[in-house]
Chain A
Amino acid sequence: MALDSFPVSVTVRDGTLVTITPMQPACTNALLAFYRHLPEEDRRVLRDDVTTTDWAEGFMRKVEAKEVVSLVAKTGGKVVGEASLYRTLRGWTRHVGEIRVTVAAPYRRKGLATHLCSALVKIATDLGIEKIIVQVVDNQVGARRIFEKLGFHKEAVLAHHVMDIAGMKRDLIVLANDVSQIWAAMEAANQDYAPHLG
C-alpha cells in the first residue's frame, strides 16, 4: 500500500465516514489541537509530550525525512486519530518499524484504530520492513487486542519500565509482528516446483 493510494475513506462502526490521509505540514496545527484535547489520562501513556509546538515541529521534520510515516484520520475537518510508523533508515534495526497510534475517545471501539494500523502494516510491508513492533503499557488492553488481531504477539515485558506523567510505574509490553513471513510465502509461491498443479 503506497501513500499515493490515499486519501482513503472508511466508515467506522457507528456509521461515521472518516478520511485517512498521510500527514502533511498543513495539518500540523490540527494534529496539535487533537493532542491538546486528549484528556490527561490518555496522555499519561504517550511517550512524548505531544502538546508542545516543539514536538509538532520535530515530528513534521521526521515525516519529511521519511523516518516517520504518519496517517491522520479526519472527520468534519477535525483530526480524530493519528497513527505513525517509526523507522530508522540505517543501522542494525533498519529492518524494524514501530507503530504508535492514538484515537480520540469518541472514536474508540469503532474500528478506526484497526483501519489505521492495518494500513500502516501494509505500508511497512511494501517499504521492505521485515519486523514491526508496538509498545503498549500493561493496562492498554484494547490496544493490545487490536494488534493481536493484526498478527502481533507478545515478545517482551519490561517490568516497571514506564513512568507516566503522574509518576506511576507500569510494565511495558513489546508486541512484534514478523512480516518477512508474508513475502517468504510469496517467494515460496514463485518456486516453480508445484506438483499439486497441472
Chain B
Amino acid sequence: MAKTEIRVGGLGGQGVILCGSIIGKAAAIYGGKHATLIQAFGPEARGSACSAQVMVSDDVIGYPYVKEPDILVLMSQDAFTQFIPKLKPGGMVLYENELVDPDGHLPPGARAVGVPATRFAEELGRRLVLNIVMVGFFAGVTGLVPIEAVEKAVRDSVPKGTEDLNMKALRKGYDYGRQQATLNN
C-alpha cells in the first residue's frame, strides 16, 4: 500500500488550505486514490501560522493525521522551522525560494527543491495565485497526482472568472517543477 503524507505550511492569507485541498481533491476525486485533509489555522485571518495535513493513499485511510511527512510544501520561514524536524528521513521539501531559506537546516538525506512562486505569480499579474503555482510545482516535481487531475481540481476549486489565470499559474509551477525534477535526477 503506497501512502504519502504531505504537510503544507505557510501564513494565513497565502491560500495554504486551498493548496492542500486541491492536492487532496485531485488525488481523491480525479486521481482514483484516497485522500484526507486536516487543517490548522491561527485566530487571525491573515499572517498567522497555518498548515494543512494531506494524506494520499492507494488504500482506504484509517488514520488521517500526518506524523512524519514524506513531503513538505512550505511558503514561510516559520513553517520551515516548525515542520522540518518532523520530515521523514529521505523526505522531500518543496519551498517558495523567496520566502524560505533552507540553507544549513536540512536533515541529512532530505531533498529540497525551490520555486520562485511569488515572482511567477506576480509576472502573471496576481500575487494571489502563489498557492496555485505551488500546487503545480508539487505536481511537477512529485508526479504523485496526474496533472490532468490537478487541472480539474483547480478548475473545480477556484472562483468563476479566475480559472484562466489560475490554470496559467498551475502550468507555470508544473513546468518549472518538471524541469527541476529532470535536473535533479
A→B interface (CB under 8 Å): 1-2, 5, 122, 125-128, 179, 182-183, 185-194, 197-198
Partner of A192, one of B38, B50, B128, B160: B50
> CA–CA, A185 to B165, complex, Å?
14
> CA–CA, A187 to B14, complex, Å?
9
Instruction: Tell me, yes or no, whether B57 is within 8 Å of chain A by CB.
Output: no
Other contacts beyond A5-B164, A192-B50: 12, CB < 8 A: A125-B165, A126-B125, A182-B160, A188-B159, A189-B157, A190-B15, A190-B131, A193-B12, A197-B39, A198-B21, A198-B37, A198-B52
Q: Shortest distance in angstroms between A187's beta carbon and chain B's nearest beta carbon?
A: 6
The reply to whether A190 and B21 form a contact with Cβ atoms under 8 Å apart is no
Chain A residues whose C-beta falls within 8 Å of the C-beta of B29 in the assembled complex: none
Q: Shortest distance in angstroms between A166's beta carbon and chain B's nearest beta carbon?
A: 40
Partner of A198, one of B39, B129, B168: B39
> CA–CA, A185 to B39, complex, Å?
20
The reply to whether B45 and A193 form a contact with Cβ atoms under 8 Å apart is yes
Provided the pairs A122-B164, A185-B162 are in contact, do residues A193 and B128 lie with their beta carbons within 8 angstroms?
no
The reply to whether B41 and A126 form a contact with Cβ atoms under 8 Å apart is no
Interface size in chain B (residues, C-beta < 8 A): 36
Chain A residues whose C-beta falls within 8 Å of the C-beta of B126 in the assembled complex: 126, 183, 186
Instruction: Tell me, yes or no, whether B17 is within 8 Å of chain A by CB.
Output: yes
Chain B, residues 57-85, CB within 8 Å of chain A (1/0): the string is: 00000000000000000000000000000
Chain B residues whose C-beta falls within 8 Å of the C-beta of A186 in the assembled complex: 126, 128-129, 158-159, 162, 166
> CA–CA, A189 to B21, complex, Å?
11
Instruction: Tell me, yes or no, whether B104 is within 8 Å of chain A by CB.
Output: no
Instruction: Tell me, yes or no, whether B99 is within 8 Å of chain A by CB.
Output: no
The reply to whether B37 and A197 form a contact with Cβ atoms under 8 Å apart is yes
The reply to whether A192 and B37 form a contact with Cβ atoms under 8 Å apart is no
